[in-house]
Amino acid sequence: MRNVLREWQAELKQTFTGTRDTVPEWVPRLAEGDDAGYHLPGSAVWTVHGDMPTIVAGIRALLMQALHPGALAGVHDHSRFREDPLGRLAGTIRWIFTVSYGSTGAARAASDWVLRLHQTVRGEFVDGHGVRRSYAANDPELLRWVHIAFTDAFLSAHKLWGRPIPGGPDAYVREWAQAGRLMGVEAPPLSEAEMRQQLDRWYDDGELRSDERVAETVAFIRDPPLHPVLRPGYRVLFAAAVASLEPKYREMLGLRTARLGPIPLPVRLATRVTLGVVHLALGRMGPSEQAARTRLRRLGYPA
């Protein structure tokens, strides 16, 4: 049993960081830098991003982002998500944690690195009205969609399964707007109501699309190539992400809330238990947060 637990912990670390036994090389560097960064302990961002519901949020964000045909085209045509989905996940986590916990210089550098990768991501897609259009990953509209879908997913999952947010949901949207600015989003939303209004605009204007490519992407997200020891827990977390979606988006994705035969799956309770087990396996405080607190203590901030 002890060996099974160790294997499970190692696979969890491999999934989220890209390495089984050691801390990724970029994490200790979060202790470097000469300022506090954009976010501090006790902030809404630290509260949300340091909590376990981020795992559900990541799944929900991928599902939502697939509904914009321009964003999906960039991933489908240029990403290696099928061949190396965990590598792509580890890269996304690196950016999120660097912006959340790193110095301002580290956050800018990480964002600039992603933007440089996006420079060659260009092509064509068919929009929600059936019109063929060109896209570029750094296009302001696509950047706004990805930022808002991300913010919505992390906030929604945290409201269902997380702790109280200092300052409430508006504080999280307002603080994480800085990440949007770093990625080139002009005037990102600063409140939950503004965020949801902008999100629904794509739906109301018919800009979103559901087609075979979306179905293929959803099928991959539903059943990614995870180690067998992680699959039972992932099924619960996928069901949680689906249940957290607004019905109109769930319908577009061709998804239904989970059932075990004729009996509805008690998603909220099952998710809380699963996230609790993950929390026990990974520890109370992640290495990124620990490194950030080391930097803050060195600079004389309360950490």
User: pLDDT tens-digit profile of 62-91?
Assistant: 999 999 998 888 877 766 666 556 666 778
Q: What whole-number distance in Å separates Cα of residue 56 and Cα of residue 63?
A: 11
Instruction: Name the token pair of 213.
Output: 């490519």
Token pair 């087609």 in the structure block, residue: 211
Q: Is the dihedral of CA 157, 163, 164, 165 positive or negative?
A: negative
Q: What is the pLDDT of residue 174?
A: 98
Q: Is the pLDDT of residue 37 over 80?
A: yes
264 beta partners: 259
Q: What whole-number distance in Å separates Cα of residue 222 and Cα of residue 66?
A: 13
Q: Assign 1 a pLDDT band (cuts: 50, 70, 90).
A: very low
Question: Domain residues of the chain, as ranges?
Answer: 2-293
Q: What whole-number distance in Å separates Cα of residue 121 and Cα of residue 202?
A: 22
- Looking at the chain, the whole-number percentage of residues with pLDDT higher than 70 is 85
Highest mean pLDDT among 36-40, 91-95, 132-136: 36-40
User: pLDDT tens-digit profile of 203-247?
Assistant: 999 999 999 999 999 999 999 888 888 888 899 999 999 999 999
